[in-house]
Amino acid sequence: MTHKEWPFVEAARIRHRLEKIGRRSVTAETGYGPSGLPHIGTFGEVARTSFVLQALAALEPGIDARIVAFSDDMDGLREVPKNLPNAAMLQQHLGKPLTSIPDPFGEEKSFAHYMNRKLREFLDSYGFRYEFASSTEKYASGAFDDGLRRIMRNYDAISELFKATIAEEKRSAWSPFFPICENCGRIYSTRVTGTDPSACAVTYACDAPLAGKYQSCGHTGARSILGGGCKVGWKVDWALRWFCLGIDYEMHGEDLLESARLSSRIVKILGGEPPELFKYELFLDEKGKKISKKIGNGISLEQWLRFAPVDSLLYLMYMKPQQAKKMGVPILPEIVDQYLELVAQDDGAEDSPVPFISRLSKGAHAGRLPGGRIITYSLILELILALNQDDPRIVRDYLLRYEPEIGSNVAYYEQLIEDALAYYREVLLPGRTVESADHQLDEAVSALRDELARRAGANAPADPDELQTMVFQVAKDREIRTRDWFRSLYRIFLGQSQGPRIGSFIALLGYATCVDRLDAHLAKGPNG
């Protein structure tokens, strides 16, 4: 049979690589930045890499394949992450390697040890097979020393390559090495002042002008680049890992395309071969906007796993990673339904995503994919809304009456009902009372604003009684309760819930001022 699905295409590339070098083992890498908790991107990368190795096992049985989940835990902390305790303590340690900063939760040896544990717990709970690797351990143990020596030996070639990609004013200060200050322990406060290739050492000053928000202590000294004394900068670091760990395969987001190109050239300078790389597109939110931590759009891993089965998330990761796809809380039911329908129509073909997903999904839905006739997640949500019902047993009994065939798979649906109930409680229920009312009110405010603006433009006389009737009518047209309407107008105009007769008040204030106030309110957006 022909294998057209992308994991098989990728697996064929790996097989070709192995044939070329005459090897029967493959090492794939996934990256994790432990400055925060594992997120949906971390999950996606491990899942997709696992899909590729599954396809490889089908194409070429007997190949020894492993995933190295690499934690970049020697990286310095650049800013205090939100939603973590002990922010003041973390602030004092900014610029230090993550393994040298105390655990804000007070449970592990360091900040990074805590985050690494979370990563492992999370990957283990879903049955991923991987080997964990810590950057700090690799540097400290000497596992990277051969590569580091090669970087020193090829300092000029790497510098030349790198400097062409950065702003001119940054070129003179650039060095691949980031010494850790022996006095203050910071990594992003140091600046290399000289190199001693024969001793594999650099001299440095802890006074980097770019340090900015990090404290620098002014210390000067010399440090070996080996054994954990220095880290190398990100793109060189990526090449170093590929070289020293013998990485054959790695995927990365579209945002790291330039880094991947540069790291590929650096690893060749070191005498290695770049891995087979696979670029995936980043997810967008439900409106098609890029997902960013700053905006906080998109959906968190915790939310997804609370609202829907893990197999639906695996499905999302399987489908066309080279196309930008939307994900977000509002469209979660749609995505879960697409998955359920896919499972229902599955014909057992090797290319189908279903066996890939079922081999990986462990946890609540382990090995219990829905089969045969299905009931969609949306239908369950509608039923919950119609029943206005929070009891999973009652919802289940309704479903069984509606579609008795699901009785053979009742455990799957019991979990799906629990998931849908969580979505109902956290997403639909709060939105139902607050959002629709606010939305209606804002529409009315907007209509009132337009009417007042029209009158201002026409120099219409301001008659308090006539204005009162008009304001009243705006609410009536939209079936808004008079009390709610006037209360919200008083809030907008006066910042309190009561006030004078609104018609007289508008006449007093004048059209232009009223329009300005309403505009300012509308600019604040919903719930503003």
- Candidates 118, 120, 219, 501: give the one binding Zn ion (CB under 5 A): 219
Q: Which stretch binds Zn ion (CB under 5 A): 217-225, 257-265, 314-322, 323-331?
A: 217-225
- Candidates 184, 266, 267, 364: give the one binding Zn ion (CB under 5 A): 184
- Candidates 183, 292, 322, 408: give the one binding Zn ion (CB under 5 A): 183
Least Cβ distance, residue 194 to Zn ion (angstroms): 17
Q: Which stretch binds Zn ion (CB under 5 A): 8-16, 59-67, 73-81, 176-184?
A: 176-184
Q: Per rule CB under 5 A, is residue 222 in the interface with Zn ion?
A: no
Closer residue to Zn ion, CB minimum distance, 188 or 318: 188
Least Cβ distance, residue 94 to Zn ion (angstroms): 12
- Indicate the helix (H) or strand (E) that contains 229: none
Q: Per rule CB under 5 A, is residue 180 in the interface with Zn ion?
A: no
- Bin 227: left if φ > 0, else alpha if -120 < ψ < 50, else beta: left
Q: Per rule CB under 5 A, is residue 429 in the interface with Zn ion?
A: no
Q: Per rule CB under 5 A, is residue 92 in the interface with Zn ion?
A: no
Report the candidate in 177, 222, 39, 185 with the shortest Cα–Cα distance to residue 98.
Answer: 185
Least Cβ distance, residue 227 to Zn ion (angstroms): 19
Alpha-carbon gap, residue 301 to 332, rounded angstroms = 12
Alpha-carbon gap, residue 310 to 121, rounded angstroms = 15
Q: Per rule CB under 5 A, is residue 217 in the interface with Zn ion?
A: yes
Contact yes or no for 204/181 (Cβ under 8 A): yes
Structure tokens at 230: 């220095």
Closer residue to Zn ion, CB minimum distance, 206 or 420: 206
Q: Parallel, antiparallel, or unpaired: how do β-strands 64-71 and 177-179 relate?
A: unpaired
Report the candidate in 411, 335, 404, 359 with the shortest Cα–Cα distance to residue 126.
Answer: 359
Structure tokens at 41: 């991107």
DSSP character at residue 500:
S
Q: What angle do CA 229, 234, 236 make, to 5 degrees?
A: 80
Closer residue to Zn ion, CB minimum distance, 173 or 411: 173
Q: Per rule CB under 5 A, is residue 181 in the interface with Zn ion?
A: yes
Q: Which stretch binds Zn ion (CB under 5 A): 166-174, 177-185, 380-388, 399-407?
A: 177-185
**Helix crossing, 377-387 with 392-402: angle to 10°?**
120
Q: Per rule CB under 5 A, is residue 206 in the interface with Zn ion?
A: yes
Which residues contact residue 444 at a Cβ distance below 8 angstroms, ignoring those fewer than 6 apart? 474, 475, 478, 480, 485
Alpha-carbon gap, residue 331 to 40, rounded angstroms = 16
Please name the residue that has the structure tokens 């919200």. Answer: 488
Least Cβ distance, residue 135 to Zn ion (angstroms): 21
Least Cβ distance, residue 83 to Zn ion (angstroms): 29
Report the candidate in 55, 67, 59 with the shortest Cα–Cα distance to residue 26.
Answer: 67
Least Cβ distance, residue 219 to Zn ion (angstroms): 5
Closer residue to Zn ion, CB minimum distance, 89 or 217: 217
Q: Which stretch binds Zn ion (CB under 5 A): 92-100, 159-167, 209-217, 394-402?
A: 209-217
Least Cβ distance, residue 206 to Zn ion (angstroms): 3
Please name the residue that has the structure tokens 């809304």. Answer: 385
Closer residue to Zn ion, CB minimum distance, 181 or 416: 181
Count of residues near Zn ion by CB under 5 A? 6
Q: Which stretch binds Zn ion (CB under 5 A): 90-98, 111-119, 182-190, 241-249?
A: 182-190
Which of positions 360-379 make contact with Zn ion (CB under 5 A)?
Answer: none
Alpha-carbon gap, residue 419 to 399, rounded angstroms = 15
Binding site for Zn ion (CB under 5 A): 181, 183-184, 206, 217, 219
